[in-house]
Amino acid sequence: MDTKELLKKVRKIEIKTRRLSDHIFGGEYHSTFKGRGMTFSEVRQYQYGDDVRAIDWNVTARYNEPFVKVFEEERELTMMLVVDVSGSEMFGTQDQFKREILTEIAATLAFSALQNNDKVGVLLFSDQIELFIPPKKGRSHVLRIIRELLEFKPISTRTNISVALEFLSGILKKRAIVFLLSDFMDTNYEKTLQIASKKHDLTGIRVYDALEEDLPNIGIVPMRDAETGGIQWVDTQSKKLRQNYIKHYLEQVKYFETLFKKNGAGTLSCRIDESYVKKLLSYFKARL
């Protein structure tokens, strides 16, 4: 993709996702994800209904009338977008690939954080750490993240969620809002998820294609594994093969949902032909 085309795509995503974050998700994001605590702002005269526990006794004694301490929520947060860029994300039977939807969701979340003056960082992973951009503020930083999501070409095509979670736990010392975006076609990440969910406010966003839920009966066809690159002839007429495919798929989905729930992390699943806007909004509201 040349520079002109890339900038055009970045601008298109910015216009679409910023509008969503400004008009739909801004307030929901602010309400859903709280700051680190309350910080002292000022003192003022006591008013009827104020909590007596907030009285500043030193100032009260000095002026011989009651004053209370006023606190404000310490809003500044850090958001980390942990995005799967393995080969399976370049799959889609509708108008878009899974990776394109992941990019739009990530951009919407990033602009929601930007609107609230929070820092945003990104971690791109396959079965290794492909790219880490430390959290920063500002529109230009968010646009850089979008450019990387659009243009980045991973070294590996395989997936290892555990590698990403382990790196995340090591690199982020303070609590952060973490969105892990993937199709979650992986297992054996229970231990690292447990550690990451204790340190951070973690949400898994699963993006999938309708065809992945079922294997149609279309005869003997060549199929390429997006992660290994291998091609294999598959007899989709076999009922047993189709049943085993569905069983394996459902086991991975259940593993994802059960594991996240068990560790107190949030989950959201979105098919690429569904509105991720409605899904995100419902998720934010459910957390209030």
Task: Mark whether 110 and 223 lie in a shared domain.
Answer: yes
Task: Mark whether 51 and 111 lie in a shared domain.
Answer: no
Task: Mark whether 68 and 84 lie in a shared domain.
Answer: no
Task: Mark whether 18 and 53 lie in a shared domain.
Answer: no
pLDDT band at 10 (very low <50, low <70, confident <90, very high): confident
Q: Please tell me the total count of domains within the chain.
A: 2
- Which one has a higher pLDDT value, 30 or 50? 50
Rounded CA separation 167/123 (Å): 9
Per-residue pLDDT averaged across 21-44, rounded?
A: 64
Buried b (16+ CB within 10 A) or exposed e, 146-164: bebbbeeebeebbbbbbbb
Per-residue pLDDT averaged across 184-189, rounded?
A: 92
Average pLDDT over the chain, rounded to an integer: 83
Q: Are 73 and 38 in contact (CB under 8 A)?
A: yes
Task: Mark whether 45 and 155 lie in a shared domain.
Answer: no
Global pTM reads 0.77
Task: Mark whether 268 and 249 lie in a shared domain.
Answer: yes
pLDDT at 246: 82
pLDDT at 46: 86
pLDDT at 36: 52
Task: Mark whether 242 and 192 lie in a shared domain.
Answer: yes
Nearest one of 109, 136, 108 to 120, comparing CA atoms:
136
The CATH number that applies at residue 93 is 3.40.50.410
Domain that holds residue 211: 3-32+75-287
- Tens of pLDDT, residue by residue over 218-275, are 777 666 666 666 677 776 777 777 788 788 888 999 999 999 999 999 999 999 888 8
Task: Mark whether 191 and 222 lie in a shared domain.
Answer: yes
Residue 131 forms beta bridges with which residues?
124
Rounded CA separation 199/178 (Å): 10
Task: Mark whether 55 and 128 lie in a shared domain.
Answer: no
Task: Mark whether 41 and 122 lie in a shared domain.
Answer: no
pLDDT(12) > 80: no
pLDDT band at 31 (very low <50, low <70, confident <90, very high): low
Task: Mark whether 27 and 111 lie in a shared domain.
Answer: yes
